[in-house]
Structure 1
Amino acid sequence: MLTGPRRTLLLLALALPALLATTSAPSQAQTPAAPVPAVTAADRTLGRADAPVTVIEYASFTCHHCSDWHQFVFPLFKQRLIDTGQVRFVFRNLPTSPDSLSLPAAAMARCAAPEKFFDVVSVLMRGQSAVLNGGRQEDWYDPAIAVSGRTRAQLTACADLPATRAALERDINGAAAAGATTTPAFFVNGRRVTDRSLGGLEVAVRAAAAAR
């Protein structure tokens, strides 16, 4: 049974601001550029730092559209665009209801070893359906802890840090500044792209690269 880390993460969830973000399917339009906060060393990224195109995703671990995207689109997105050096991918948290699940999961991912962050994201997204359908939270958290590169004690200590809360709040506030109110929300070189399909994102990436 997960006790210490789970208890600390749940306390962290209660301490964070209430979130109004809701999940809905996006339209297929493309909207003008929004003031997306610049990528910093604090962000969790994948791909070349000098890639010509930066794709930022705001996502929630309790958003089923996010889970579907990470399970079924992200592997090919990574293969075609990240691994080929075309894209630097940035994951930012925008927790959605229920906060008692999404916020602890966000904190757990944040507290993982940086090089293990996307492994934790993958595990949590794959396990989302089971926990949202009444599965035990321990069965969701434990596999993520196993790939996190951290011990339970280290995760507990990290979740207690003001820096962890500040990092999650920075993501949430950045989403609000960028006008991201649903998840997943994608920005390609600062421009909101609502077609989250692989084809739609490839078109947006090519356009962004050509516009440089």
Structure 2
Amino acid sequence: MLLAVALAATPAVALAQSVLPAVTAADRVLGRADAPVTVIEYASFTCSHCGDWHRTVYPAFKARFVDTGQVRLILRDFPTPPVQVAAEAAAIARCAAPERFYDVASSLMNGQTALFQGGSVADWYASAIAASGRSEPEIEACVNEPATLNGIRASVAGAQGAGVPGTPTFFVNGRMVDDNSLAGLTAAIQPLVTRSTAGR
């Protein structure tokens, strides 16, 4: 393994009411900061359903909503088995140059197919690092910073507190959406965009 990340299990959070953590400066945002709709995705880089969504839905979703300024997308970490591999991938993405985070995420999601067909984890990481805008020594140093692991742990705790049942899970302006197809997300997003436009 190229880098070493140890992600201790985070105890489940028992809350009377699920609470989605607010957007902070620590979140990686794709799209306009003042977009009327915020979509938060909890995902894992070793989750095949997450990879499928990224490859088949994300391009059209981004073109329709993010590139037009209607949505800001935020990807949050919720590593799934093998957790060590997923957490290390999440750490590499977090350590990328800020403007390259989603390039690294795309590299990891798009590289899943080869990985799951017997490809090398080290090669999967290397491709992500190549897209990061930083050198391998810079990424390695950042991955091993306590703050990086703490950020992943905080994301996991937030997911558990919000009642995230698995990955990928999407929230549209704070409301969990069960249907993560383009049609399902459009049905949740479009009324909010229309309402925002009408209120101007």
Task: Indicate the SS of the match to 2:111.
Answer: helix
- Aligned pair partner of 1:52 in 36, 60, 76: 36
Q: Which residue of 2 aligns with 1:206?
A: 190
Q: How does 1:74-113 map to 2 (within 5 A)?
A: 74-113=58-97
The 8 Å contact of residues 59 and 94 in structure 1, kept in 2 or not, is answered as yes
- TM-score, structure 1 normalization: 0.85
The 8 Å contact of residues 79 and 87 in structure 2, kept in 1 or not, is answered as yes
State the alpha-carbon separation in 2 of the partners of residues 63 and 19 from structure 1. 19
The 8 Å contact of residues 60 and 102 in structure 1, kept in 2 or not, is answered as yes
State the alpha-carbon separation in 1 of the partners of residues 84 and 144 from structure 2. 16
The 8 Å contact of residues 10 and 153 in structure 2, kept in 1 or not, is answered as no
TM-aligned CA deviation for residue 165 of structure 1: 1.1
State the alpha-carbon separation in 2 of the partners of residues 18 and 129 from structure 1. 27
State the alpha-carbon separation in 1 of the partners of residues 101 and 135 from structure 2. 14
State the alpha-carbon separation in 2 of the partners of residues 74 and 89 from structure 1. 11
TM-aligned CA deviation for residue 19 of structure 1: 6.3
Letter in 2 for 1:17: A
Q: Which residue of 1 aligns with 2:48?
A: 64
State the alpha-carbon separation in 1 of the partners of residues 113 and 73 from structure 2. 24
- Aligned pair partner of 1:171 in 139, 144, 155: 155
User: Cα deviation per residue 1:93-150 (whole Å; 9 max; x = unaligned)?
Assistant: 1000011311110111111111000000001001112222321112211111111011
- In structure 2, list runs of 5 or more residues that go unmatched: none
State the alpha-carbon separation in 2 of the partners of residues 88 and 185 from structure 1. 16
User: Cα deviation per residue 1:58-82 (whole Å; 9 max; x = unaligned)?
Assistant: 0000111100101110011000000
Letter in 1 for 2:26: A
**Identity score, percent:** 54
The 8 Å contact of residues 96 and 102 in structure 1, kept in 2 or not, is answered as yes
Letter in 1 for 2:189: V
The 8 Å contact of residues 10 and 157 in structure 2, kept in 1 or not, is answered as no
- Aligned pair partner of 1:155 in 134, 139, 142: 139
- TM-score, structure 2 normalization: 0.90
Task: Indicate the SS of the match to 1:70.
Answer: helix
The 8 Å contact of residues 55 and 188 in structure 1, kept in 2 or not, is answered as yes
Task: Indicate the SS of the match to 1:54.
Answer: strand
